[in-house]
Structure 1
């Protein structure tokens, strides 16, 4: 047996889009549906959801079953947190609240085996419970996708050093946290916020780091526009938003006066025989 190539890394190396799903709900079924739909990757949000590690493991299995890569946004840049998800088979790690080069190096040390990092060796699920551990220990450093999140204004002073790290595969911007750290929460049209975003994007382009984006309310038009701008790593919506938006679309008919505007049905007063 052998460690397969990371589908997302392969697509990005070819300058192809890598579109993914995002899971907030505590349901392996949602994860399976996202993977079954054809996304290249599906990310479990372990930072802002109630998903347990036991449930995440079932999600990973469901995602892998349909050929997508199981990713996770960890709750913090913490060795034990990251190690647990890697050991259970995460193929991509998204690390939140990166503010400095030191934060990046800490994350890399948690994700990479020696000599590139300090990840500890074991024989968990990611190694086939030891069945292909030798291959995994050799290849994991190249096949684990690593994305960092820039979501605090303090990161700007270290952007050059952060983006110069070749081990980073993509960068996500957390717009709400970033704008909040600037004292203008949610003001995405603010001129200062737009300048900061432009700086991050230009630095990413300068250093050849893939720019990622989470389009929470996606449409085909929005995603195509992002692809035209050169953004290749895109999270499309999330399970909870998809469920809410589609539910509201039809529930709104319940609150309307549509029945008063249509012809009343002809009822049969005869009992069924």
Structure 2
């Protein structure tokens, strides 16, 4: 059995724009509903949602039949969590709150088997198709993709050093935490925050490193794409559900 190709990783290398949806609802049913909607990637979040390894597994299973790439965000830059998500078949991880080169290197190490990393080895995981991919331990790194999230002023000051780490495939800018770090909590649209995000995207573009962002603001999403983001999340499932149902209820209450 062959090692599954990571379409998302290939697209980043080819500089193809990938439009994504953030998924904070932990159910596999919701994941399957949005899987065929036309997005290039779905992010299954476990940092700011009730999700965990046991909820992500059925989400991965639910979307496997569709032409959409699955990305998982662990709750933290933790080698044990990273190992568990890789073992259940996640090929692309977004690691939150990476502050410097050393933390980026730790994430890379957790993604790789020895002798170049520290990932624990098991031959009977979903990732290995339960032992059916004989070359998995030797070739896994080819199809694994590591994205790191920069979300503070301190992290942005280390952007070039983080982006240069071997094994970091892309850098995601987190506007919400960055806003708080810059003294504007709850205001990702503040001019200072917008300027910092745009500057980070431009710096990553100059380095030739794929840049990513999450923004439900369509105009700002278009601006980020113009500046050079190549993986751009344009909505959040819970937000779409909340705002959509509010709008529907309001429409009929006014009639």
How far has the Cα of 1:83 moved from its partner? 0.8
User: How many angstroms apart in 2 are the aligned matches of 1:37 and 1:192?
Assistant: 34
Matched position secondary structure for 1:25: coil
How far has the Cα of 1:188 moved from its partner? 4.3
Matched position secondary structure for 2:211: strand
Is 1:131 aligned to 2:129, yes or no? no
User: How many angstroms apart in 2 are the aligned matches of 1:202 and 1:145?
Assistant: 22
Matched position secondary structure for 1:125: coil
Matched position secondary structure for 1:232: strand
User: How many angstroms apart in 2 are the aligned matches of 1:198 and 1:215?
Assistant: 13
Assess if the C-alpha contact under 8 Å between 1:111 and 1:119 holds in 2.
yes
Q: Deviations over 1:108-135 (max 9, x none)?
A: 1111122331111102110011111x32
- Give the TM-score, by structure 2 length: 0.91
Relative to structure 1, the CA distance from residue 68 to residue 188 in structure 2 (aligned partners, 3 Å threshold; closer, same or farther) is closer
Query: Where does residue 76 of structure 2 map in the other structure?
Result: 76
Assess if the C-alpha contact under 8 Å between 1:73 and 1:94 holds in 2.
yes
Unaligned runs of 5+ in 2: none
How large is the RMSD of aligned CA atoms in angstroms? 2.0
Assess if the C-alpha contact under 8 Å between 2:175 and 2:214 holds in 1.
no
Alignment size in residue pairs: 254
User: How many angstroms apart in 2 are the aligned matches of 1:202 and 1:38?
Assistant: 27
- Give the TM-score, by structure 1 length: 0.85
Assess if the C-alpha contact under 8 Å between 1:6 and 1:91 holds in 2.
yes
Superposition misfits of 4+ residues, deviation over 6 angstroms? none
User: How many angstroms apart in 2 are the aligned matches of 1:201 and 1:135?
Assistant: 37
Is 1:242 aligned to 2:243, yes or no? no
Relative to structure 1, the CA distance from residue 96 to residue 142 in structure 2 (aligned partners, 3 Å threshold; closer, same or farther) is same
Matched position secondary structure for 2:167: coil
User: How many angstroms apart in 2 are the aligned matches of 1:186 and 1:249?
Assistant: 22
Unaligned runs of 5+ in 1: 259-273
Computing the radius of gyration over CA atoms, which structure comes out larger, 1 or 2? 1
Relative to structure 1, the CA distance from residue 162 to residue 5 in structure 2 (aligned partners, 3 Å threshold; closer, same or farther) is same
User: How many angstroms apart in 2 are the aligned matches of 1:226 and 1:176?
Assistant: 15
Is 1:62 aligned to 2:54, yes or no? no
Match for 1:228 among 196, 216, 226?
226
How far has the Cα of 1:200 moved from its partner? 1.9
Is 1:156 aligned to 2:156, yes or no? yes
